[in-house]
Amino acid sequence: MPKVVLVTGCSAGGIGFALSERFAECGCKVYATARNVDKMQGFKGSNIETLALDVNDDDAVQSVVQRILDVEGKIDVVVNNAGAICIGALLDIPLEKVKEAFDTNAFAALRVAKAVMPPMVKRRSGVIVNVGSIVGDIPTPWNGIYSASKAALHSLTEVLMMEAKPFNVSVMLVVPGAVRSNIANNSNSSFRLPPDSLYGAFLHNMIDRMNVSQGAHSMPTEVFVRKVVANALKEKPPAYITLGGNAKLFSFLKWLPRAFVLWIMWRRYSRAA
């Protein structure tokens, strides 16, 4: 029987969309989800079904998971890919937006895990893949809320990894560096510097930070998804993989004194215009 895969955050042009297509190419039955179904147009292949899902809604998550279980009888792989960037200085970002970022980037993965773990435990089989970020390990200025929410996701994932072991359920943390997607375009359309901001002189740095992941060093999406899917479909998936632009650099930086690393990050993202 083909593996049944649920992927969140699958709007066209994003990583989730490409992951869904790659899982389908590998013979899986894929349920691709996003808040707005109309933004998931253009999938190739007949074994991808699209469903509306707001990962910040408890009832919606339970309903979608149950719908898949009713049809397929199982869910083999879940990819918690849905995410929301949150560019700006910490002091400029309204707390409501901070809470929303944490809900989407961290708590949603736990919400989905709560829904899919019981049937996985019953079958003593399953894989949960959480997509973090290299800035969850080392934060950067002007993207602090995103960094903090991904750090929370990393910690939640590592604990779930340990607590799922008694039930033969694998948990894999994917830590991407720069990967080409539409994430910067989405941010550019919504980013505004508050008129009373203390950081007006750093606007150009914020814009630079917003677009850095889509530069020439970014990993092509198709390369990224091939590696992620290949690992997720292994009999024993790895607990941790990191790949993409700057991934090796950030892995190295984790071994250096923390204060020195933060100084490097500040120097990189606070250059004068």
Query: For residue 271, what are the contacts with CB-CB under 8 A and spacing of at least 6?
Result: 205, 208
Q: Return d(Cα 246, Cα 91) in angstroms, integer.
A: 27
Which pLDDT does position 190 carry in this prediction?
67
pLDDT exceeds cutoff 60 at 238: yes
Q: Return d(Cα 187, Cα 170) in angstroms, integer.
A: 33
Which pLDDT does position 94 carry in this prediction?
96
- What CATH number matches the domain at 4-268, 1.10.274.10, 3.40.50.720, 3.30.70.20, 3.40.720.10? 3.40.50.720
> For this structure, is 74 an active site residue?
no
Which pLDDT does position 177 carry in this prediction?
96
pLDDT exceeds cutoff 60 at 179: yes
> For this structure, is 31 an active site residue?
no
Which pLDDT does position 216 carry in this prediction?
74
Query: For residue 202, what are the contacts with CB-CB under 8 A and spacing of at least 6?
Result: 89, 141, 142, 270
Lowest-confidence pick of 9-18, 208-217, 229-238: 208-217
Structure tokens at 15: 């990583």
- Stated pTM of the model: 0.95
pLDDT in tens, 48-90: 999 999 999 999 999 999 999 999 999 999 999 999 999 999 9
**Comparing C-alpha atoms, which of 95, 179, 190, 188 is closest to residue 145?**
95
Q: Return d(Cα 58, Cα 66) in angstroms, integer.
A: 12
Which pLDDT does position 63 carry in this prediction?
98
Which pLDDT does position 14 carry in this prediction?
94
**What's the average model confidence in pLDDT over 229-236?**
98
Which pLDDT does position 231 carry in this prediction?
98
pLDDT in tens, 118-160: 999 999 999 999 999 999 999 999 999 999 999 999 999 999 9
**What's the average model confidence in pLDDT over 27-52?**
95
pLDDT in tens, 92-106: 999 999 999 999 999
pLDDT exceeds cutoff 90 at 188: no
Q: How many residues does the chain have?
A: 273
Catalytic: which of 3, 29, 31, 146?
A: 146
pLDDT exceeds cutoff 70 at 187: no
Catalytic: which of 29, 44, 150, 254?
A: 150
